[in-house]
Chain A
Amino acid sequence: MSKQVNLTIDNQAVTAAEGALIVDAAKKVGINIPVFCYHPKLEPAGMCRMCLVEIGRPVIDRATGAPVMEGGKPKLQFGPKLETSCTTPVSEGMVVITNSEKVKAARKDVVEFLLTSHPLDCPVCDKGGECPLQNLTLAHGPATSRFLFNEKNHNAKHVPLGDLIYLDRERCIQCGRCVRFQEKIAGDPVIGFYNRGRQMEIVTFSEPGFDSYFSGNTTDICPVGALTSADFRFGARPWEMKATASICTHCAVGCNLAFNVRREVGGKNGSPSKGGIVIKRALPRQNEAVNELWICDKGRFAYQYSESPTRLATPLVRKDGELTPASWDVALEYAAEGLLGESKPGQAKDLLVIGSGRLANEDLFTLRKLAEGAGGQAALYSQSGGGDLLAQVGAAPGTNLASLGKGSVILVVASDLHEEAPIWFLRVKQAAERGATLIVAAGRPTRLDRYAKYVIRYAYGEEAQIVAALGDSPRRAELVEAAKPAAAAKPAAAAKLVEAAKPAAAAKTVEAAKPAAAARLVEAAEAFGKAENALVFFGSDGLGQSGAQSVAQACAQLLAATRHVGRPNNGLIPVWGRANEQGGWELGLKAANLQTALQASTTAYIVAADPYGDDPSLPAPSFLVVQELFLTETARRADVVFPAQAFTERDGSFTSGERRVQRYYPATPALADCRPDYAISAELGQHLGLKLEGRSAAAIFAQIATEIPAYKGLTYRRLAETTNATAIGAAKDPRDAEERRCADLYYSGAGYENTQGLGVQLPLQTLSPALSKPAAAPAAQLSKTGLLAVPVTQLYDLGQTVLPSALLRQRIGEAWVGVNPADAAEAGIEAGAAPAAIVQVVLPGKPEWRAAARIDERTPRGVLLIPRSMGLPLNAPLPGASIRPVVRRDSQEAASQQPA
């Protein structure tokens, strides 16, 4: 614990940690100093001058170093001017006065001055009603202004900063919260100040504008209505909306969301709302252990799929080769008959049940029960693997990335966190900036590299070996030995090669590693071994199911060998592609090889997954039941299609990658005839002759809590508990409306409060002895012919849950393939051309695919980067790929325009 300092604020004795700011210390004892530019999560800037206070410091006798006494009390010296409490740290014996006439007059003047160029168009402003400027003007401002209103700045009302964010320059009070957020927190300085004085304005430097995955957060922290989101512009007034707690479904982080809903006649995005309840916006909900106050733009804008007009509304049954609408009874009956086939009721031996991580714990549990009861097999639809290890080596309860700092090590293996889990990127980056040692091991440069102390490059296919080398000192010694002669031969060249990627076709990384890289690996391994706390993230960059499995295995062994298991802030965190893949593993579903699994079964029941869309070459079962939101490629091939409810329409719980079980609540009424997944599965089970619980999510969760050891003792009520938030500025008692209001004001006005639950992290099992023994990871056998095509993840892809969002669709961009310049030159493709060259990608056994080539050094030599869910189905690294140029679009057009 850091040194504590005693001071007095408004005659109240306060004890605060040394280095704390006066404004935070005052907040802790319930004194609210008004702020605009200060934000507890940002470095102070002192730009708005709203927090001015009188500060007196004890006079110190220079000779003795003791405070000068005057009448038995330390003599105080007040500064001649007021000081900003948001930039001044507390010091011993300090006396702060926040409510004197002088301070009040200063606040009044600051507000008056801020309003000299504010348009006061509160009636049409989206922030109106939750606006700190409005509230603080009412509390501290003058009733009239001495300035001439005709001399206000008049600019064009709104400027789109990007596709997602609009700027109203007149409203801006130049606090710089957005600029500082982008620079310091997001690490994405794409906006900045331009000009000076009254002409100062926010501009974007990036192309396309405001190109950041975190841009939506700036609208939340903006203390005025200068930054508004394209999604919510003029959507509703804040007081008209009700907040419902939810959990983001797009990655394994499990960000806490609040959906703001209201009744509407018009409906948006063409959805036919006639007096129904619709979601107006998604906001982050404060959970200091998960997402703090932030969410990424995917979480903020992609929820729109739940309101898409293309959603399935009634059950469909195949009749004469066509899918035709049917009643639930008919559809269920038909599905049960088809799944049973010739077998007895309660037995459907050849049934394959597939569920994805988009489903809640309750759904996945019911699916497993159904598969088990019928004698079939249940599989988790996942492109990754290794989830079975996490019950032993997962993040231990109490793990919080925010508490990692000096003495901690974070290892990120095979993951571009910025694309796969943006909030983890943000938090890992901040941990690194607080002093945690970040080791990034990846096959290509990622955005996290710049915050890493050690960057380790490997050739795709050798991820597991690199991880094993980190934990295995004899192997490292070998490695250094092996690197030595090369160092003697040409040190300069070797040093150059450290950063450069090597051809995948080259010999093993470990052997070919150049001395500096080897030394770096050794240093990183030592840092990892010595670290007080160590967290390992493993993702899916260039990995398939088996690759991920062996990386997870290697990571688990590394953690077990270095004893970074079972303590808070230690363990393995998987970067799954979907929200609840962890839940699937915990509840006993395993990722299976669909090719063989589908081959082996005659009937299949696929829930919330689109395997045929991802890989059309999969074998087709004789009878297929699909449960989905949309008519996907898989649903089109089905014999029966059940329409499921979206996560916004029902309740349930997810288990995040950090093994935190979190609950979400229904925000809107269900669409038409849709039913929740667990209820459909349970009813289908009943038609198959099984007895399954399907009355409510809570009842199923109670069953999970009794049957699955990890979930033992958990109840919905426990998941909904909120403790007194420990963060600065958070309301001490979230149920106190006045405190909440003050907390919100501190942050920006948007409602961040979390009254619906922080979730519970699952306990770990004891480590199995098999993991403690370091075992050599098997080298992936990748053929060396042609280019190696590896799947990589892109945040905005062509997934079913992204496409319906009109806002995000324009950000997805065209299909691309990453190519190294040398490879491009070999294939006869011109680099550096604009627009990007279009190439034909040829993979063995896959249909040819056309994409724009991104030719740069970020792609290692001999590798093709293929984004997932962008048109080319690729679930695992595949050698033997090639590319060939296609006549460029513009020249094609030019050719077609020429007279024949």
Chain B
Amino acid sequence: MPDVLRGVKIAATAVREVARGLNMTFRSMFEKPVTISYPEEKRPVRARFRGRHDLNRYENGLEKCIGCALCAAACPADAIFVEAGENTDEQRFSPGERYARVYEINMLRCIFCGYCEDACPTEAIVLGDNYELSFTDRRNAIYTKEMLLKPVPAGGQPTPQTTPPGVYTRSVPAMNNPSD
């Protein structure tokens, strides 16, 4: 007798446990999934996420980058390379006298620390939201200025621009107290 009773008890436990397990299964079948179908769907990044760099433009399309190479100096991984050139009113890339003729970031070296952003005197370089960095060749890891520059905003002109003389004389357009 005790054998029968034990057998029933075991069967009941098995049924209960299976039901409980399946309950979890069925419940999660109808739950909203935590995964997303990347790359069709993308999760928004956090506000302070540090992704691929962007080179910003002013509203009129002029580049914010003045080619000062302070980002390159601040970079602990030596990932940034800048070569400066001189603006003229006929061929203006940025306000002031100096612009980045060559601007390259080696994304294989970059550790996304954001020091370049801190060092930038014109807020030209910012670490953006883009984390999709993949290359099949080491050479492709070097992002050039054309790849990093943001598109020209609506109403702006692409660079180089022809500008009236005496307007864009300052590298930092409204130079106020540096503590600002």
Contact = CB atoms under 8 A, between A and B. Distances in A.
Interface of A: 119-121, 123-124, 128, 144-145, 149-150, 154, 156-158, 233-237, 239-240, 264-266
B86 A234 contact: yes
B176 A123 contact: no
Given A123-B66, A123-B121, A149-B177, A237 B97 contact: no
A144 B176 CA distance: 13
A358 B170 CA distance: 45
B177 A237 contact: no
B68 A124 contact: yes
Interface of B: 66-70, 72-73, 81, 83-86, 96-98, 101-102, 104, 121-122, 166, 169-172, 175-179
Contacts of A123: 66, 68, 70, 121-122, 171-172
Which of B67, B68, B166 neighbours the largest number of chain A CB atoms within 10 Å of its CB? B68
B126 to A, nearest CB: 17
B104 A265 contact: yes
Contacts of B69: 236-237, 240
A156 B84 contact: no
A150 B180 CA distance: 13
A240 to B, nearest CB: 7
Contact of B84 (A150, A154, A234, A265): A234
A629 to B, nearest CB: 26
A141 to B, nearest CB: 12
A120 B72 contact: no
A354 B73 CA distance: 49
A372 B121 CA distance: 65
A783 to B, nearest CB: 56
B83 A266 contact: yes
Given A234-B67, A237-B68, A266-B101, 7 more contacts: A124-B98, A158-B97, A234-B85, A234-B86, A237-B69, A237-B72, A265-B83
Contacts of B172: 121, 123
10 contacts: A120-B178, A123-B66, A149-B177, A154-B169, A157-B169, A235-B84, A236-B69, A236-B84, A240-B69, A240-B72
Nearest to B70: A123
Contacts of B176: 149-150
Contacts of A240: 69, 72-73
Nearest to B72: A240
Contact of B86 (A144, A233, A237, A266): A233
B170 to A, nearest CB: 8
B6 to A, nearest CB: 81
Contacts of B177: 145, 149
Nearest to A148: B177
Nearest to A267: B83
Contact of B96 (A156, A157, A233, A237): A157
A156 B171 contact: no
Contacts of B97: 124, 157-158, 234
Contacts of A265: 81, 83, 102, 104
A346 B89 CA distance: 65
A264 B179 CA distance: 35
Contacts of B83: 236, 264-266
A144 B177 CA distance: 9
Contacts of A264: 83
A128 B176 CA distance: 19
B66 A124 contact: yes
A121 B173 CA distance: 11
Contacts of A128: 68
Among all A-B residue pairs, the 7 with the closest Cβ atoms? A123-B68, A234-B84, A124-B98, A124-B171, A123-B121, A265-B102, A237-B69
Contacts of B175: 119-121, 149
Contacts of A124: 66-68, 96-98, 171
A234 B98 contact: yes
Contacts of A266: 83, 85, 101-102
A240 B73 CA distance: 8
Contacts of B104: 265
Nearest to B99: A234
A265 B72 CA distance: 15
Contacts of A236: 69, 83-84
A798 B131 CA distance: 57
A145 B175 CA distance: 14
A713 B104 CA distance: 50
A698 to B, nearest CB: 33
Which of A121, A145, A157 neighbours the largest number of chain B CB atoms within 10 Å of its CB? A121
Nearest to B122: A123
Nearest to B169: A157
Nearest to B144: A265
Nearest to B166: A156
A149 B72 CA distance: 28
A144 B73 contact: no
